[in-house]
């Protein structure tokens, strides 16, 4: 399907063929009658689920809630096998959707976008790809995902390492044989926490290089029985309504009381119950865990207590226990046997906050204290999150201003959907919207519906050039900051805040006011004739170059 030197003239150019790009394609093409070309860097569709194929990769949102909702037939025919789907199963689902709705014919794979340039005279976006593919469209939709620009930390001497170097977010498509090898894993975020327990039993030695310990609670994966699946399908309409109207997009009931509303015994019992069932939803055990230090401390202490129970060596348990930020201020993790993995004889934890990594040699990875002989090094170091994939290509808007220039101090958006000076360019589930703070599938579908409706409305009104005004953008950025300011999110060096990349502007990027409030705001803006957007007719054809 990959094509070179091909040009596509369409209504809408979509960048990225993950969940968002495919949903955008289907909606605009099949429901709104527009022509669409999707440009995808990977060799196949799937986005984050195409790239992140490391052992143990799976979603930590219930499969039923991490599915498209546009087709009852799709719901009927697709059967998730587990409560939380594995990466291969999610990729099978994406492939099924792509085939079922004949999406691949409008996707060009192997086409990494290099530039996108707004032509003010003709009101079009011109897009070029590294492989020579070009596309021209009246609208540009960036469906590139918040977690797709891979972060590869520089370690001195890494080029001398003669073993295998892998990254969880760019895992080879062919099987990787780790059996009997000495493997080092750098990073203990969600990816590290999934890959570590999965590979520990098969490798000879596993050395985990931890800079910041994570808070992790048991995932409680389970295979779904036929009866459970049937019950889930029956409850779908109700469940989806709940997701759409929830602040998180998760099917976890929001507890309507604070942690200190319960006495110690009741709170302990409540946490215990949540620990044994909630998975990712543990963060919603009380409604003030992300706004009150005192409340948060009860949850943080509870989790640290559990780590101490799960790890037999108390000194090791302490090393694995986070103390430098509140629970939930960084994206919380869920695990299957993560902490217990450190009870194994063949697993070593290296605290690289105490003794930083210094260099790699042909056969070792070294810290300030010691050298570790390794055959394989796995980077589980995450992403240049939220803005990385948007700032990688050169996107040039009105008056030759690039997105890199406009966002030099951090992402500026109106509703997370558009940015002033970049007419007809939309971002799906990116900075300025709830995106990573909730179930991203719910966010994606909300954006896809909203953007599609706007395009249809604009076309019908004869005003197909749309742009966020500077005032609306300024006001929205203030709203995003105001929503985050009273939360404990501000107290961790997280990727929400741009702290994962040195030199990245430290601004809180997602909208923390909740999905429900955000959806209402977007709907209100639409009802008020797209308040905050400037809309104008397309330039007359005599302006177009000969
Ligand atoms: P991450 O959460 O950003 O974690 C990266 C890890 O690498 C952190 O422990 C970080 O330590 C460490 N690290 C980064 N740079 C380093 C350096 N130069 N030296 C040493 N250590 C370094 O990345 P991730 O684990 O790939 O997860 C990213 C996101 O993807 C998750 O938050 C989640 O949203 C998503 N995800 C979801 C699932 C799931 O659904 N279950 C699974 C995987 C990923 P510091 O904290 O000290 O920076």
Q: What does the pLDDT look like over 458-516, one tens digit per residue?
A: 999 999 999 999 999 999 999 999 999 999 999 999 999 999 999 999 999 999 999 99
pLDDT in tens, 131-146: 999 999 999 999 999 9
Global pTM?
0.96
Compute the average pLDDT of residues 361-371.
97
Residue to substitute in 87, 158, 184, 190 for testing ligand 1 pocket (most ligand atoms within 8 angstroms of CB): 190
- By alpha-carbon position, which residue is closest to atom 5 of ligand 1? 381
pLDDT given for residue 546 in this prediction: 34
pLDDT given for residue 254 in this prediction: 79
Ligand 1 pocket, residue 367 CB under 6 Å:
no
- For ligand 1, the distance from its centroid to the CA atom of residue 186, given in whole angstroms, is 10
Q: Please write down the HEC assignment for all residues of 412-464.
A: CCECCCECCCCCCEEECCCCCCCHHHCCHHHHHHHHHHHHHHHHHHHHHHCCC
Give the lowest-confidence range in 1-15, 358-372, 479-493: 1-15
d(CA 377, CA 207): 9
If we measure between CA atoms, which residue out of 52, 49, 47 comes closest to residue 18? 47
Compute the average pLDDT of residues 343-368.
97
pLDDT band at 1 (very low <50, low <70, confident <90, very high): very low
Residues ≥6 apart with Cβ < 8 Å to 334: 60, 190, 193, 216, 217, 218, 219, 279, 280
The gap from C-alpha 63 to its chain's centroid, in whole angstroms, comes to 16
- For ligand 1, the distance from its centroid to the CA atom of residue 417, given in whole angstroms, is 26
Ligand 1 pocket, residue 66 CB under 6 Å:
no
- By alpha-carbon position, which residue is closest to atom 37 of ligand 1? 190
Provide the strand spans (E) within 181-299: 182-186, 205-210, 216-218
pLDDT given for residue 88 in this prediction: 98
pLDDT given for residue 157 in this prediction: 97
Give the lowest-confidence range in 2-16, 96-110, 344-358: 2-16
- For ligand 1, the distance from its centroid to the CA atom of residue 329, given in whole angstroms, is 14
Ligand 1 pocket, residue 147 CB under 6 Å:
yes
- For ligand 1, the distance from its centroid to the CA atom of residue 305, given in whole angstroms, is 23
Ligand 1 pocket, residue 337 CB under 6 Å:
no
Compute the average pLDDT of residues 36-41.
98
pLDDT band at 352 (very low <50, low <70, confident <90, very high): very high
- By alpha-carbon position, which residue is closest to atom 32 of ligand 1? 331
Ligand 1 pocket, residue 216 CB under 6 Å:
no
- For ligand 1, the distance from its centroid to the CA atom of residue 384, given in whole angstroms, is 10
pLDDT band at 545 (very low <50, low <70, confident <90, very high): very low
pLDDT over 80 at 234, yes or no = yes
Ligand 1 pocket, residue 212 CB under 6 Å:
yes
For the chain, give the mean pLDDT.
96
Q: Which atom belonging to ligand 1 lies closest to the Cα atom of 59? A: 40
pLDDT over 80 at 225, yes or no = yes
Residues ≥6 apart with Cβ < 8 Å to 459: none
Contact (Cβ atoms closer than 8 angstroms) between residue 383 and residue 500 = yes
DSSP letter (8 states) at residue 521: H
pLDDT given for residue 423 in this prediction: 98
d(CA 123, CA 131): 25
pLDDT given for residue 328 in this prediction: 98
- For ligand 1, the distance from its centroid to the CA atom of residue 68, given in whole angstroms, is 26
Ligand 1 pocket, residue 518 CB under 6 Å:
no
Ligand 1 pocket, residue 211 CB under 6 Å:
yes
Compute the average pLDDT of residues 30-47.
98
Ligand 1 pocket, residue 539 CB under 6 Å:
no
3-state SS assignment for residue 533: strand
pLDDT over 50 at 443, yes or no = yes
pLDDT given for residue 540 in this prediction: 63
Percent of the chain whose predicted confidence (pLDDT) is above 90? 96
Ligand 1 pocket, residue 195 CB under 6 Å:
no
Q: Which long-range contacts (CB under 8 A, 24 or more apart) does 398-404 make?
A: 398/118, 398/120, 398/422, 398/423, 399/120
pLDDT over 70 at 544, yes or no = no
Residue 66: both structure tokens together: 């991490």
Ligand 1 pocket, residue 194 CB under 6 Å:
yes
pLDDT given for residue 41 in this prediction: 98
d(CA 186, CA 46): 25
- For ligand 1, the distance from its centroid to the CA atom of residue 400, given in whole angstroms, is 35
- For ligand 1, the distance from its centroid to the CA atom of residue 203, given in whole angstroms, is 22
């Amino acid at each position: 399907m990959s094509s070179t030197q091909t040009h596509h003239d369409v209504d809408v150019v979509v960048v990225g063929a993950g969940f968002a790009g495919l949903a955008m394609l289907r909606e605009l093409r099949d429901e709104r009658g527009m022509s669409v070309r999707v440009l995808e860097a990977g060799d196949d569709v799937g986005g984050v689920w195409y790239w992140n194929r490391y052992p143990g990769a799976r979603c930590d949102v219930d499969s039923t809630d991490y599915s498209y909702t546009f087709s009852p037939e799709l719901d009927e025919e697709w059967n998730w096998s587990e409560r939380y789907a594995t990466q291969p199963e999610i990729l099978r689902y994406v492939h099924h959707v792509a085939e079922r709705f004949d999406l691949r014919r409008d996707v060009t794979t192997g086409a990494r976008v290099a530039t996108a340039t707004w032509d003010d005279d003709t009101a079009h976006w011109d897009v070029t790809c590294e492989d020579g593919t070009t596309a021209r469209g009246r609208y540009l939709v960036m469906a590139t995902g918040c977690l797709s620009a891979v972060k590869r930390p520089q370690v001195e001497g890494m080029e001398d390492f003669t073993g295998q170097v892998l990254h969880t977010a760019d895992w080879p498509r062919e099987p990787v044989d780790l059996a009997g090898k000495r493997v080092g894993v750098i990073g203990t975020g969600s990816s590290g926490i999934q890959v570590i327990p999965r590979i520990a039993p098969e490798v000879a030695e596993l050395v985990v290089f931890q800079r910041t310990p994570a808070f992790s609670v048991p995932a409680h994966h389970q295979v779904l029985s036929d009866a459970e699946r049937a019950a889930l399908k029956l409850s779908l309409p109700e469940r989806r309504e709940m997701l759409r109207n929830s602040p998180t997009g998760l099917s976890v009931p929001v507890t309507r009381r604070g942690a200190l509303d319960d006495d110690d015994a009741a709170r302990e019992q409540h946490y215990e119950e949540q620990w044994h069932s909630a998975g990712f939803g543990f963060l919603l055990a009380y409604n003030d865990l992300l706004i009150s230090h005192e409340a948060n401390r009860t949850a943080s202490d509870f989790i640290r207590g559990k780590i101490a129970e799960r790890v037999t060596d108390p000194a090791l348990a302490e090393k694995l226990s986070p103390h430098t930020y509140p629970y939930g201020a960084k994206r919380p993790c869920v695990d299957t046997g993560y902490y217990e993995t450190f009870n194994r004889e063949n697993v070593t934890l290296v605290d690289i906050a105490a003794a930083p990594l210094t260099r790699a040699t042909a056969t070792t990875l070294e810290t300030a204290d010691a050298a570790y002989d390794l055959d394989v090094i796995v980077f589980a170091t995450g992403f240049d999150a939220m803005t990385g994939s948007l700032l990688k290509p050169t996107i040039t808007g009105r008056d030759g201003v690039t997105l890199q220039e406009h966002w030099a101090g951090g992402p500026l958006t109106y509703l997370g959907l558009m940015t002033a000076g970049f007419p007809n360019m939309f971002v799906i589930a990116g900075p300025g919207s709830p995106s990573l703070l909730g179930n991203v599938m719910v966010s994606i579908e909300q954006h896809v519906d909203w953007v599609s409706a706007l395009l249809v409305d604009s076309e019908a009104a004869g005003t197909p050039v749309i742009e966020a005004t500077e005032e609306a953008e300024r006001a929205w950025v203030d709203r995003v900051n105001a929503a985050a300011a009273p939360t404990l999110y501000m107290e961790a060096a997280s990727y929400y805040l741009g702290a994962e990349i040195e030199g990245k502007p430290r601004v809180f990027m997602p909208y923390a006011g909740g999905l429900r409030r955000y959806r209402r705001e977007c709907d209100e803006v639409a009802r008020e004739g797209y308040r905050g957007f400037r809309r104008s007719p397309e330039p007359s054809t005599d302006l177009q170059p000969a």
